[in-house]
């Protein structure tokens, strides 16, 4: 009996299979969209195709799956199903792309992980011998409380995002399953490979794409987003947060332009409103309405718009359609790559491994990846438009102590300076920077050195976090501050200068994630102490004295700081003493054995210790009784030999005193206009010569011409004590005197003995 039953069952099964029919089920799924623009909901709620979604054909009576497939780009599907005879057919669409064999998997679920789906009408009694067209099934809005949403709108935004990533602009591969949840409580957020949209954001395409951007960054690159509260127009956020949020907004705007064909807007509207309802909005092309309030790498709007400008072009459907507001248009290639692929290589490459990812790494990564072909000038202009000043300022190079830029304390706020330097050509990527400045400061002055946000904006407009330090010329650090100014700015307050000289101050950052940025700085006097000024002198009266007399030393000095008392410090450097104090003192010389020049040093100081450079006054000190210690003398001797006008006579005029500039020898009664020979020697030889006598040894011979008066003056200035007591003899001969006898017809003077002395 059991054998008969089994045989019958097997026969029935074989009979059923043999009669099953394969038939084609076609149709289309669409969802109700909620139209919006920059001004919020516009009331134009049209239908859009549900793309790449899972489609399941079911036997409605049994729930059996009789065919599977997916929708195409137009929302249509064509699926081979199987059945026997007549069946009740229903088609289900799931907010899932799992059944598309090549597309990125996206799932839209509740927060409880229940996947959204919708069904076509039931087609009762369909004959499986024929195809079935179920027509168009429209998935209408859903409600979460009073908020409208549509899971298939979320799916479509996910599909659009991956149309961009896997499409021709980027041409990257898919990743693991991405889950999109709705409705969530609280705000929208993303974590890892999932995103959750608040009940109010189910139709906010820009917000959905923004959160998808976070997921894309998590999966394809890296994010160090700190999370937490943030808002548009805040230029003083943690730059890691601004990079994460700015990238997400940029990604959404890029998908809107290059996939959806819309202007790049961020718009968050109240989902319970039918029109308007704007809560937050932004035009990425123009930075509207934050054009005057979103700058720098610590501002998420600035980050978003900076990155967006790299990829948007003249074809973008925005207010400037047909033109591009920067030089990175559709004709640009980066080493043969489109800007989209060049950016993606940066995004997946250097940015993926950067610690504490901020906008700096987008800049550095771009040039690390693309080098000199990265269009430095065009990129610099884009970043600079949004005050992400990643370039060297005009004071470079001033990165080391000895390259400090001379400046003036009290000159006011500097132009905008940047903490950026690079050894590459063009100058990117960059590295951290030191900025050094210097000025001459006077002891006792009180100075304040500080930074501020560029151009004194109340919002930061920069990620910069400055440190200022102050150094003397011996490379000793005297003060350092990382705070004290407004916000993240640094300030050294009321520093009293301990020594006069060249002082230097350095600006830098110690932050590992704020190592670029811009700032203004100034150095001001709380009190400026001026150096005393020597107006005249110092002088010595008399300037030459014997060692048993004194000299009066005096100086005239002044100080621009009223009320200060000047101190005069006189120091004898060559012996002797100073008697008295003040601007006029007495120099008491040392005892000397020969003429000695004594140096006396003078400095003038004020109450606060500001001291002039040392100046020197000199006094010549001779031994008492004169520098030679013996008397000066002259003695005439010998006899002359006559010439045409008689016998010439040599005599001394004055005494050969050391020092002296007036002593001279004089020859009178000589032949006018004759050539005279002056013989000088340190001994007498009294040798017969040409009928007369040559008295001095011929140690020296000088020539002179007798004036028409017949009187020849021969000055002998004496200033060197080495000649003290050294006797020498002088005689003058005039050859070829017509009135003289002898072979050479010389007329001759007597001689004069000269002994220099005191």
CB 161 within 8 A of CB 175: no
Residue 54 lies in a domain: yes
Same structural domain for residues 116 and 17? yes
Range with the poorest average pLDDT among 174-178, 508-512, 655-659 = 655-659
pLDDT at position 19: 62
Mean pLDDT of 346-373: 97
Residue 521 lies in a domain: yes
Q: Is a pLDDT exceeding 50 seen at residue 589?
A: yes
In angstroms, rounded to a whole number, what is the distance separating the alpha carbons of residues 159 and 153? Answer: 10
Q: What three-state secondary structure class fits 695?
A: strand
| Among candidate residues 564, 590, 622, the one where a domain is terminated | 622
pLDDT at position 1: 36
CATH number at residue 452: 2.60.120.380
413 CB burial (10 A radius; 0-12, 13-18, 19+) = middle
pLDDT band at 627 (very low <50, low <70, confident <90, very high): low
pLDDT at position 17: 44
| Among candidate residues 509, 527, 545, the one where a domain is terminated | 527
Same structural domain for residues 560 and 520? no
In angstroms, rounded to a whole number, what is the distance separating the alpha carbons of residues 676 and 726? Answer: 25
Same structural domain for residues 328 and 409? no
Tell the residue number behind the tokens 């925005």, with chain if given. 318
Token duo for residue 349: 């490459």
pLDDT at position 661: 87
In angstroms, rounded to a whole number, what is the distance separating the alpha carbons of residues 149 and 202? Answer: 4
Q: Is a pLDDT exceeding 80 seen at residue 320?
A: no
Residue 459 makes CB contacts below 8 A (sequence gap 6+) with 233, 234, 235, 236, 293, 295, 299, 453
In angstroms, rounded to a whole number, what is the distance separating the alpha carbons of residues 103 and 697? Answer: 124
Mean pLDDT of 307-321: 88
Same structural domain for residues 448 and 514? yes
Same structural domain for residues 289 and 427? no
Same structural domain for residues 584 and 732? no
Q: Is a pLDDT exceeding 60 seen at residue 18?
A: no
| Among candidate residues 597, 622, 647, the one where a domain is terminated | 622
Backbone angles phi, psi at 401, to 5 degrees: -50, -50
Give the domain range for residue 585.
533-622
Residue 206 lies in a domain: no
CATH number at residue 729: 2.60.40.1930
pLDDT band at 14 (very low <50, low <70, confident <90, very high): very low
Mean pLDDT of 251-275: 96
168 CB burial (10 A radius; 0-12, 13-18, 19+) = exposed
Same structural domain for residues 117 and 67? yes
Q: Is a pLDDT exceeding 70 seen at residue 334?
A: yes
Tell which wins on pLDDT, 316 or 477: 477
Q: pLDDT, tens digit, for every residue of 374-408?
A: 999 999 999 999 999 999 999 999 999 999 999 99
Q: What is the mean pLDDT of the chain?
A: 94
Share of the chain above pLDDT 90, in %: 90
Residue 134 lies in a domain: yes
pLDDT at position 26: 98
Residue 196 lies in a domain: no
CB 446 within 8 A of CB 452: no
- Residue (of 269, 266, 270) closest to 246 by Cα position: 266
Provide the CA 444 distance to its chain's centre, in angstroms.
31
Q: Is a pLDDT exceeding 50 seen at residue 225?
A: yes
pLDDT at position 660: 84
Same structural domain for residues 514 and 640? no
CB 52 within 8 A of CB 71: yes
In angstroms, rounded to a whole number, what is the distance separating the alpha carbons of residues 311 and 328? Answer: 7
Residue 703 makes CB contacts below 8 A (sequence gap 6+) with 675, 676, 677, 678
Q: pLDDT, tens digit, for every residue of 479-491?
A: 999 999 999 999 9
Same structural domain for residues 541 and 676? no
Same structural domain for residues 473 and 567? no
Q: How long a stretch of residues is the chain?
A: 758
Same structural domain for residues 382 and 245? yes
What is the secondary structure of 218-231 as a DSSP string? HHHS------S---
Paired strand residues for 24 = 80
pLDDT at position 7: 38
Q: Is a pLDDT exceeding 60 seen at residue 11?
A: no
Same structural domain for residues 412 and 373? no
Mean pLDDT of 80-87: 97
Domain total of the chain: 5
Residue 707 lies in a domain: yes
Q: What three-state secondary structure class fits 362?
A: helix
Provide the CA 269 distance to its chain's centre, in angstroms.
41
Instruction: Give the number of C-alpha atoms closer than 13 A to the C-alpha of residue 291, restricted to the C-beta side.
Output: 7
Q: pLDDT, tens digit, for every residue of 661-686?
A: 899 999 999 999 999 999 999 999 99
Range with the poorest average pLDDT among 153-162, 432-441, 717-726 = 717-726
In angstroms, rounded to a whole number, what is the distance separating the alpha carbons of residues 498 and 309? Answer: 52
**Order of strands across the sheet with 405-406?**
405-406, 435-441, 501-508, 467-471, 477-481
Q: Is a pLDDT exceeding 90 seen at residue 352?
A: yes
In angstroms, rounded to a whole number, what is the distance separating the alpha carbons of residues 295 and 698? Answer: 96
The enclosing H or E element of 340 equals: helix 339-348
pLDDT band at 626 (very low <50, low <70, confident <90, very high): low
Backbone angles phi, psi at 245, to 5 degrees: -75, -40
CB 593 within 8 A of CB 623: yes
Residue 713 makes CB contacts below 8 A (sequence gap 6+) with 653, 664, 665, 666
CATH number at residue 597: 2.60.40.10
What is the secondary structure of 593-610 as a DSSP string? SS-EEEEEEEEEE-TT--
Q: What is the pTM of this model?
A: 0.78
Residue 664 makes CB contacts below 8 A (sequence gap 6+) with 652, 653, 654, 713, 714, 715, 716
pLDDT at position 346: 98
Share of the chain above pLDDT 70, in %: 97
Q: Is a pLDDT exceeding 50 seen at residue 9?
A: no
Q: Is a pLDDT exceeding 80 seen at residue 227?
A: yes
Residue 192 lies in a domain: no
Residue 29 lies in a domain: yes
Q: pLDDT, tens digit, for every residue of 701-738?
A: 999 999 999 999 999 998 887 888 899 999 999 999 99
Residue 78 makes CB contacts below 8 A (sequence gap 6+) with 24, 25, 26, 69
Q: Is a pLDDT exceeding 70 seen at residue 12?
A: no
């Amino acid at each position: 009996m059991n054998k008969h039953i089994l045989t019958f069952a097997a026969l029935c099964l074989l009979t059923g299979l043999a009669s099953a029919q394969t038939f084609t089920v076609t149709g289309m799924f669409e969802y109700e969209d909620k139209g919006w623009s920059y001004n919020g909901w516009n009331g134009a709620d049209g239908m859009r195709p549900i793309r790449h979604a899972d489609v399941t054909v079911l036997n409605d009576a049994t729930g059996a799956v009789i065919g599977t497939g997916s929708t195409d780009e137009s929302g249509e599907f064509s699926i081979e199903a199987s059945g026997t005879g007549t069946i009740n057919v229903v088609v289900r669409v799931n907010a899932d792309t799992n059944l598309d064999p090549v597309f990125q998997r996206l799932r839209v679920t509740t927060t409880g992980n229940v996947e959204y789906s919708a069904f076509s009408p039931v087609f009762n009694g369909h004959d499986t011998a024929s195809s079935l067209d179920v027509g168009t099934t429209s998935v209408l809005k859903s409600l979460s409380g009073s908020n409208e949403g549509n899971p298939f709108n979320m799916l479509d935004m996910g599909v659009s995002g991956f149309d961009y990533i896997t499409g021709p602009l980027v041409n990257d591969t898919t990743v693991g399953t991405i889950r999109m949840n709705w409705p969530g409580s609280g705000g929208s957020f993303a974590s890892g490979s999932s995103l959750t949209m608040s009940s109010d954001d189910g139709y906010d395409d820009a917000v959905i794409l923004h959160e998808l951007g976070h997921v894309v960054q998590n999966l394809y690159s890296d994010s160090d987003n700190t999370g937490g509260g943030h808002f548009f127009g805040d230029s003083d956020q943690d730059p890691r947060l601004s990079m994460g949020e700015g990238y997400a907004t940029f990604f959404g705007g890029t998908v809107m332009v290059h996939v959806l064909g819309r202007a790049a807007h961020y718009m968050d509207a109240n989902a319970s409103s039918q029109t308007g309802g704007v809560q937050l909005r932004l035009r990425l092309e123009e930075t509207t309405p934050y054009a005057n309030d979103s700058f720098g790498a610590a501002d998420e709007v600035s980050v978003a718009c900076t990155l967006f400008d790299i990829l948007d072009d003249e074809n973008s459907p925005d207010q400037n359609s047909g033109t591009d507001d920067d030089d990175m248009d559709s004709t640009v290639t980066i080493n043969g790559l489109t800007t989209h692929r060049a950016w993606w290589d940066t995004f997946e490459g250097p940015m993926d491994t950067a610690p504490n990812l901020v906008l700096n790494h987008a800049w550095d990564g771009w040039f690390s990846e693309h080098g000199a072909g990265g269009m430095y000038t065009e990129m610099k202009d884009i970043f600079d438009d949004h005050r992400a000043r990643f370039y060297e300022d005009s004071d470079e190079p001033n990165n080391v102590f000895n390259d400090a830029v001379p400046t003036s304390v009290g000159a006011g706020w500097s132009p905008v300076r940047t903490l950026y330097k690079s050894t590459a050509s063009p100058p990117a990527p960059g590295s951290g920077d030191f900025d050094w400045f210097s000025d001459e400061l006077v002891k006792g002055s009180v100075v304040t050195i500080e930074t501020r946000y560029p151009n004194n904006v109340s919002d930061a407009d920069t990620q910069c976090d400055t440190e200022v330090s102050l150094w003397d010329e011996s490379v000793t650090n005297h003060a350092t501050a990382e705070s004290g100014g407004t916000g993240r700015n640094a300030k050294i307050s009321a520093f009293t200068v301990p020594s006069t000289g060249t002082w230097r101050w350095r600006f830098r950052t110690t932050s590992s994630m704020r190592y670029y940025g811009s700032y203004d700085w100034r150095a001001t006097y709380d009190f400026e102490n001026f150096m005393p000024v020597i107006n005249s002198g110092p002088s010595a009266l008399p300037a030459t004295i014997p060692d048993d007399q004194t000299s009066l030393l005096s100086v005239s000095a002044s100080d621009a700081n009223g009320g200060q008392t000047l101190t005069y410090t006189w120091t004898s450097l060559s012996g002797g003493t100073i008697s008295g104090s003040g601007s006029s003192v007495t120099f008491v010389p040392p005892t000397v054995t020969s003429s000695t020049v004594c140096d006396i040093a003078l400095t003038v100081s004020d109450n606060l210790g500001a001291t002039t450079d040392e100046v020197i006054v000199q006094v010549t000190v001779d031994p008492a009784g004169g520098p030679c210690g013996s008397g000066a003398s002259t003695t005439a001797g010998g006899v002359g030999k006559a010439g045409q006008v008689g016998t010439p006579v040599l005599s001394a005029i004055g005494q050969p005193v050391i020092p002296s500039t007036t002593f001279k020898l004089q020859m009178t009664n000589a032949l006018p206009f004759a050539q005279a020979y002056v013989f000088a020697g340190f001994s007498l030889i009294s040798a017969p010569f040409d009928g007369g006598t040559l008295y001095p040894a011929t140690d020296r011979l000088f020539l002179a011409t007798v004036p028409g008066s017949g009187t020849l003056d021969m000055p002998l200035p004496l200033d060197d004590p080495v000649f003290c007591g050294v006797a020498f003899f002088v005689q003058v001969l005039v050859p070829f005197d017509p009135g003289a006898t002898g072979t050479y017809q010389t007329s001759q003077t007597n001689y004069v003995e000269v002994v220099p002395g005191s």
